[in-house]
Amino acid sequence: MTPRMTSADRNGAVRSAATSWRQAGAIDDRALAAIEKAYPDERQGVGLVFRVLLFLFTLISVGGAFGFLVMISDTSRRTDSLPVLLLFFGAGLVIATDFQVTLMLRARGGVEAAMSLAGIGFLAGFAFWICDKDGWKDDHAFAALLLAAAILLAGAAWRWGYPLYAGAAMAAFLWSFVAFPGARLVWIVLPLLMATVLMRLSESPRLPPSHRDSCAFALGVALAGLYTAVHLGSLDSRLLEDWHHGKLPSSAILRGLSMAATALVPVIYLAIGLRSRRYVFLLLGLGTGVASLVTLRYYVHLAPLWVILTLSGAALMAVVLVLRRYLDSGPGRERHGYTAEPLFEEMGRRRMLEAGAAVVSLSPEARPVHEEPKFAGGGGDFGGGGSSSDF
């Protein structure tokens, strides 16, 4: 990121927080305007719907252009022209993206994101073509494709500040090892080595917010990879060995270790998350915890599935309500740095969770509880949220 982008990115974080404060009623319009004046963000972008449309139509146009040039190229020379086109399109799109993001200061505009994605895809395809042409085995050529994608995505995340690309880069990097023996070991060792570094970077004031988010995404993917590698189901199904027809020694000790890890890793993630209030660990702890419970049900027939589902659903709801009451009953409606009240800086998380729920159910989100618009931590003057006596 250029110094101008870094400055805009830092200011953007403050403006975004100020918007959340305004929505929560903590500040008024005048204060919001003053903050926006004090922290200008000169990057140009559009709203979500326009962004999605621009992204979609840019991808269609780029794909159409590539297809058109492939179609009009001489059929007998198509094999030769394809790599040229891949390189030409890839390089051209990456340069165009860089121009838009760094010089025109486009951000969240849709067009530059689509161009960057297509550019990286074409360049990764070019890398695959080179390896394939050179007579590499399919597995190895595919690993080269993934490695090229990982490098390009990581570079894009660093240069343009796209956190999602950082997560995708980590995923591609880990998958590139699957074509070789010892992939499972790499999936365990690499995340363990990188976790501390990524965790520190994700909170470092030296980095701009986009880079911190990139590190958090990469950390999340690495930790998910670690869980996959130690998971009993992945060991039994040879998930990470199937690609290169590798052999994994059948060892009772290994299986025992995997069982223990399947049970312990979610607990460790959750414990770290709860202790440090790090959202990545909390989310991973919950997700991997559910996965481990499903694994337990798969291997051990505790009860019929309907009993498990019904009881776990009822238990989950009960736990949520108890937790809510516990947090509400604390001084200032918080305990150990947690609160069940809606807080200021979480619009992104809220949108993510609402969108997830709406996609699952194809329904709108539930309405807010009535204390939502304003958080006032003084305690005592909030009646709802399950804390009332008639609950």
Residues numbered 91-130 forming contacts with other proteins, rule: CB under 8 A: 108, 111
Strand partners, 334: 339
Q: How far is the CB of 337 from other proteins (least distance, A)?
A: 5
Binding mask 2-41 vs other proteins (x if CB under 8 A, - otherwise)? --------x--xx--x---x----xx---x--xx--xx--
Please name which of 140, 141, 172 lies closest in space to residue 155, comparing C-alpha atoms: 172
DSSP, collapsed to helix, strand or coil, labels residue 340 as: coil
Q: Which two tokens stand for residue 205?
A: 């004031």
How many of the other CB atoms lie within 10 Å of CB of 25?
13
* Amino acid, res. 387: S
Residue 193 binds other proteins (CB under 8 A): no
Q: Are 137 and 37 spatial neighbours (Cβ–Cβ below 8 Å)? A: no
**Closest to 13 (Cα-Cα) out of 41, 42, 38:** 41
Please say which residue, 68 or 298, places its beta carbon nearer to other proteins.
68
By CB under 8 A, the residues from 211 to 270 that bind other proteins are none
- Kindly tell me which of 299 and 391 has the beta carbon lying closer to other proteins: 391
Applying the rule CB under 8 A, the residues between 61 and 80 that interact with other proteins are 61, 63-65, 67-68, 70-72
Residue with tokens 């040879």: 238
Residues of this chain, 308-367, that bind other proteins according to CB under 8 A: 308-314, 316-317, 319-321, 323-324, 327, 334, 337-346, 349-350, 353-354, 356-357, 360-367
Number of residues counted as binding other proteins (CB under 8 A): 101
For residue 17, the minimal CB distance to other proteins (Å) is 4
Distance of CA 104 to the CA centre of its chain: 27
CB of 16 to other proteins, least distance (A): 9
Q: Which residues contact 121 (CB under 8 A, 6 or more apart)?
A: 90
Q: Binding pattern to other proteins, positions 161-190, x when CB under 8 A?
A: ------------------------------
Cβ density class 129-165: b for 16+ within 10 Å, e for less: bbbbeeeeeeebbbbbbbbbbbbbbbebbbbbbbbeb
Q: Which residue lies nearer to other proteins by CB, 125 or 273?
A: 273
Task: Please report how close the Cβ of residue 237 comes to other proteins at its closest, in angstroms.
Answer: 24
Toward other proteins, which CB reaches closer, 220 or 342?
342
Shorter beta-carbon distance to other proteins: residue 225 or 342:
342
CA distance 372 to 344: 11
